[in-house]
Amino acid sequence: MGILDVLHFPDPRLRRPSEPIEKITDELHQLAADMLETMYDEPGIGLAAPQIGASIRLIVLDTQWTEDDADRKPCVFVNPEIVERSGSVVWNEGCLSVPDFSADVKRAEHVVLRALDLEGREVVETASGLRAVCFQHEIDHLDGVLFIDRISRLKRNLYVGKRKKLLEEEGERWTSSGERPPAPLRTPGTKL
């Protein structure tokens, strides 16, 4: 395996709620490794399994590696959930599955995440700021929610209209059948 294809809006697979992971297998370890490789390659700071077409509750992230001289700190969370949230913060978010767009999104500023690691041990992590935003953004993916669902209808409609036009110009069918995902588009910047 290695680098995986990231699905792009409006691929309907991004809208499917994901299933909890019952058993941690060698295949899951491989998938997590491939998702991390894909995330670093894009580049992004987070990736959720539905973004590569797997409807399971698995996320990977590394919220610091894009900063100058920062080491990579890959994190993998199985069945993650937010168990506490407080405060609020507005962050300009982008997404590897939502090409050519970013927008301010209001989220909890501080969260406590509970998950399993790849050895099946429980992990509890308290996070603030970007890392807290990333946790919330990636867990949204597991529920079929995209950050564009959390902005005003006006801004969302503007983006959807632009994206539809672009795909039509490229000869892609604007479809929700999922037979043919839209052509990959790469944009600079940090994506979640």
Residues that bind Zn ion (CB under 5 A): 95, 192
Q: How far is the CB of 187 from Zn ion (least distance, A)?
A: 13
Which residues contact residue 112 at a Cβ distance below 8 angstroms, ignoring those fewer than 6 apart?
82, 83, 84, 85, 124, 125, 126, 127
Residue 150, SS3 per DSSP? helix
Cβ-based neighbour number of residue 151 at 10 Å: 18
For residues 86 and 109, give the distance between their C-alpha atoms in angstroms, rounded to a whole number: 6
State yes or no: is 125 an active-site residue. Answer: no
Q: How far is the CB of 120 from Zn ion (least distance, A)?
A: 26
The residue number with the shortest CB distance to Zn ion is 95
Q: How far is the CB of 51 from Zn ion (least distance, A)?
A: 6
| C-beta closer to Zn ion: residue 79 or 140 | 140
The one catalytic residue among 42, 138, 168, 170: 138
Which residues carry out catalysis? 138
